[in-house]
Structure 1
Amino acid sequence: MIKFLIPFFMILLGNQTLIKAQANSGIDSSCPPKTIFELFKKRDSVLIVKPIKNSFLLVIPIIGVQPATGFSYGATAQYTFKGADLSDKYSSANLGVTFTTKKQLLINVKNNILLKNNKIYLRGDCRLYVFTQPNYGLGTNIIPSERKNPDFEIESIEEPMDYNYFKFHQTASWEVKPNFYVGGGIEIDWYSSIIDKNLDVVNGKWTNHYNYSKQNGFNDTEYFVNGVSLNLIYDSRDNQINTRKGWFANINYRFNGDLFNEQKSSNVLYTELRYFIPLDPKKEHFILGIWAFGQFVTNGVVPYLNLPAIGWDQRSRSGEGYTQGLFRGNNLAYMQAELRFPITCNQLLSGTVFANYTTTSNKQDHIGLFEYVQPALGVGLRLLIDKATRTNLVIDYAIGNHSKGFYLNAGETF
């Protein structure tokens, strides 16, 4: 999907000084950071030290187009904030509303919030979609290599589908040791009004979704996956909005119960690791970032649309170079490595180069994890929007196997 995100307005509030923020973040005082908005401000001969802000609201109109949705328009708001204590870390909450010419409605509410001097950690992902998205089958072997089939087109394996999706995932974790949190959550997924457009049972034309649903005892027009989870987090990142150093690790084990007709009990394990390495101790904005996660159905079965798939992580950023949901399977493993570097000394413009790798399994066809791996490579530009939170406007272009994508967002990919 192509999105054009245009900064609309900012509301800034806070009480710390710019000098303190520069000292705490390793900024070179001879070349202070400058945002894109400051380029249009009139220069004064007198240097004024302005207060750094403890909160930042960015509202961005969204205009986009893709085959699944047609023309889309809407807005997303990101609120970034922190407490008054110098040790408090930034938190973020996002709200996005999008409409499309295919009469679709997409509402997203996300949160990563630290409270009580970083003692309480809230993470949430809530969505309400009136949605259209093709499915492509299970496993990463659904796309041949360029060498074996250079004329292959992904559209040839598309299976168009309409459905409504309600998602409520919210965890709360408490710090038991420095940077280490233990907690739990509620996780609800409800898929309804599912229409398989390529399905023609009378004439024997079945789809991957229909076959999987019938083989595993699910209603192919509506299903629920409801459960609770145990959540473990380790987070030593200096800033979750734009990290320069530290670790983030998350283990979430979900228990889904058999609460409704045709609902199946299951267990799903989600593991995630992010590691950020400053390549120059004196210049922390030269960074190597590593992001890896895995999602595994360890017991029972889950419905087709709830199987692990790329692009369905909390921020919908995994799998750049491929369309959302292209790779889906009983288990999924993903890794991305990204080199971040400044282009201008004032950090107004910076860049990235990255690579990612995806592998999924297909139990029905005995396709194992790591048997087929799909790579992608990409480059990106960053425009600094806010100095205090280090929020960037993100512009990425990635090329995968028989696929490519252009991405515009607010905030880093991971």
Structure 2
Amino acid sequence: MSKRCRFCFSLLLIIFMQFCVIAQTASDSLKYCPEKSLQELFKKEDSVLVLKPVKNNFFLIIPVIGSQPATGFSYGFVSQYTFKGKSEKDKYSSVNLGATYTEKKQMLLNFKNSVMLKSNKVFLSGDWRFYIFSQANYGLGTDIIPRRSNDTGFDLNDLKEPMNYNYFKFHQTASWEIKNNYYVGAGVHLDWYTTITDENLNVAEGQFTNHYNYSKKYDYNENEYFVNGVSLNLLYDSRDNQINTNHGMFANINYRFNPALSTNQHASNVLFMEYRYFMPLSKLNKQHVFCIWATGQFVTMGTVPYLNLPSLGWDQRSRSGKGYTQGLFRGQKMVYFETEYRFPILCSNLISGTVFGNLTTASDKDRDIRLFQHIQPAVGVGLRILIDKATRTNLIMNYAWGRHSKAFYLNAGETF
């Protein structure tokens, strides 16, 4: 670990220890341990003025300081606005805006929305991004990391194929409720990759890369391409709170149609499926929750360009694949599974924790690598700090270990 990473980790540890002192003091003073947030610890007493959260909405902005394999040392901010209507039956919505700059000279601008309108009758879900980006590619399929019995001397860095590119993404769906918790809708999906530079590529000397070979085989311009299309969307959502769910289920099926608009885009169909399940384990404290998150993305017809293939860590909130660098696993088909146990550490729920594990499998049809033929696991632990009681918004810190890989994460809101 570099000196800079050690400094960041030490700083976060000191901050966490201070939170623990505050939390324990508050917990000792509370009878029956009712839920409290950081904001409620500082309330008006003896003419001391404090800020209380506005009813039915909450705004959060936090600095981002961290280190991940895909970005290196990074800093910036993440903001989240959580809100709901006046009716008790209205569910919380969230809008996220983030900006990050990294030591690898990457600039990441993100805007995400997950919004319920008209008494939960309309559900909007969006993922907008603009990246000036650099990321290593490692090839297709999850067999790129060998089985444990064959990984003596294996170094993941030996597979790196560094690339630079700009990326614009606009994905937005709108769905309407047709029956209690059931929605039907449609979406628009735009992906544009430009100024692609493959650093390991040297055609004159016969040095090729996975990206170049794939692009030539399927007739894509290796310097620029795009994928634009529309989709049909079916979803079910019975979650009690999408910010921090204690019980309920979420399921989504999105089928995308990408027409052949030019030589830089070929016709294709892509199926995306997602399932989340939340089961409370205690009647006394609903923060004991067992969770499941599963996704599947499949190119069902035609081809898409290399960087648009199903890939780890490119979900709406970039939360999948903890323990591995973003984009490490990629293929024409990909399945991801994660399970998590969330539990309170303090009975006030101010501090809580989580343990989790995940599995990833991806295919490569050109080498006849099938789904589930090779599976890559990861495990991790996390801490949560409650910063708003009404919306149950947490500041989360996760540390995860994969095979030949590990990473630390700092975010607002739960992973899923």
Q: Same fold (TM over 0.5)?
A: yes
Instruction: Give the deviation of 1:282 after TM superposition.
Output: 3.4
Contact 1:307 1:328 (8 Å CA) reproduced: yes
From 96, 109, 112, give the equivalent of 1:94: 96
1:176-201 CA-to-partner distances (Å, cap 9, x unmatched) read 00101100000000000000000011
Select the structure that is richer in helix: 2
Residue 259 of structure 1 pairs with residue 265 of structure 2: no
Instruction: Give the deviation of 1:42 after TM superposition.
Output: 7.5
Which residue matches 1:350? 352
1:359-410 CA-to-partner distances (Å, cap 9, x unmatched) read 0000000000000000111111111111011011111111111111111111
Structure 2 CA distance, aligned partners of 1:376 and 1:100?
Answer: 25
After TM superposition, the structure 1 = structure 2 runs for residues 267-282 of structure 1, keeping only pairs within 5 Å, are 267-282=269-284
Contact 2:312 2:328 (8 Å CA) reproduced: yes
- Seen in structure 2, the aligned counterparts of structure 1 residues 29 and 333 have a Cα distance that, compared at 3 Å, is farther
Instruction: Give the deviation of 1:139 after TM superposition.
Output: 0.2
After TM superposition, the structure 1 = structure 2 runs for residues 6-21 of structure 1, keeping only pairs within 5 Å, are none
Structure 1 CA distance, aligned partners of 2:55 and 2:318?
Answer: 28
Structure 1 CA distance, aligned partners of 2:378 and 2:65?
Answer: 25
Residue 315 of structure 1 pairs with residue 311 of structure 2: no
The sequence identity of aligned pairs, in percent, is 63
Residue 33 of structure 1 pairs with residue 30 of structure 2: no
Residue 56 of structure 1 pairs with residue 61 of structure 2: no
Instruction: Give the deviation of 1:171 after TM superposition.
Output: 0.3
Contact 2:39 2:53 (8 Å CA) reproduced: no
Which residue matches 2:397? 395
What amino acid is aligned across from residue 161 of structure 1 in structure 2?
M
- Seen in structure 2, the aligned counterparts of structure 1 residues 352 and 45 have a Cα distance that, compared at 3 Å, is farther
1:53-102 CA-to-partner distances (Å, cap 9, x unmatched) read 21111011222345654543221110000001100000000011122344
Q: How many equivalent residue pairs? A: 391
Structure 1 CA distance, aligned partners of 2:232 and 2:212?
Answer: 32
Contact 1:52 1:388 (8 Å CA) reproduced: no
Which residue matches 1:138? 140
From 364, 378, 381, give the equivalent of 1:379: 381
Which residue matches 2:415? 413
Which residue matches 1:329? 331
SS in 1 for 2:205: coil
Worse-superposed segment, 135-144 or 92-101: 92-101
Which residue matches 1:75? 77
TM-score (ref. length: structure 1): 0.90
Structure 2 CA distance, aligned partners of 1:245 and 1:306?
Answer: 33
Instruction: Give the deviation of 1:105 after TM superposition.
Output: 1.7
Worse-superposed segment, 367-376 or 276-285: 276-285
Worse-superposed segment, 313-322 or 260-269: 260-269
What amino acid is aligned across from residue 142 of structure 1 in structure 2?
I
What amino acid is aligned across from residue 365 of structure 1 in structure 2?
R
Contact 1:145 1:401 (8 Å CA) reproduced: no
Instruction: Give the deviation of 1:331 after TM superposition.
Output: 0.2
Kindly report the root-mean-square deviation, in angstroms, between the aligned alpha carbons of the 2 structures. 2.3
Instruction: Give the deviation of 1:126 after TM superposition.
Output: 0.5
1:235-289 CA-to-partner distances (Å, cap 9, x unmatched) read 0000000000000000000000111223100000000000001112332111100
TM-score (ref. length: structure 2): 0.89
- Seen in structure 2, the aligned counterparts of structure 1 residues 70 and 406 have a Cα distance that, compared at 3 Å, is closer
Which residue matches 2:27? none
What amino acid is aligned across from residue 370 of structure 1 in structure 2?
F
- Seen in structure 2, the aligned counterparts of structure 1 residues 297 and 218 have a Cα distance that, compared at 3 Å, is same
What amino acid is aligned across from residue 267 of structure 2 in structure 1?
S
1:80-134 CA-to-partner distances (Å, cap 9, x unmatched) read 0000110000000001112234433211000000000000000000000010000
Structure 2 CA distance, aligned partners of 1:218 and 1:33?
Answer: 55
Worse-superposed segment, 225-234 or 150-159: 150-159
Instruction: Give the deviation of 1:164 after TM superposition.
Output: 0.4
Instruction: Give the deviation of 1:149 after TM superposition.
Output: 1.6
Contact 1:146 1:402 (8 Å CA) reproduced: no
Structure 2 CA distance, aligned partners of 1:185 and 1:77?
Answer: 25
Contact 1:377 1:398 (8 Å CA) reproduced: yes
SS in 2 for 1:147: helix
Residue 210 of structure 1 pairs with residue 212 of structure 2: yes
What amino acid is aligned across from residue 337 of structure 1 in structure 2?
T
SS in 1 for 2:149: coil
SS in 2 for 1:389: coil
Structure 2 CA distance, aligned partners of 1:386 and 1:364?
Answer: 50
Contact 1:69 1:104 (8 Å CA) reproduced: yes
Which residue matches 2:117? 115
Structure 2 CA distance, aligned partners of 1:301 and 1:325?
Answer: 18
Runs of 5+ in structure 2 lacking a partner? 13-29
Instruction: Give the deviation of 1:146 after TM superposition.
Output: 3.3
- Seen in structure 2, the aligned counterparts of structure 1 residues 389 and 248 have a Cα distance that, compared at 3 Å, is same
What amino acid is aligned across from residue 238 of structure 2 in structure 1?
S
Which residue matches 1:197? 199
- Seen in structure 2, the aligned counterparts of structure 1 residues 321 and 40 have a Cα distance that, compared at 3 Å, is same
Which residue matches 1:186? 188
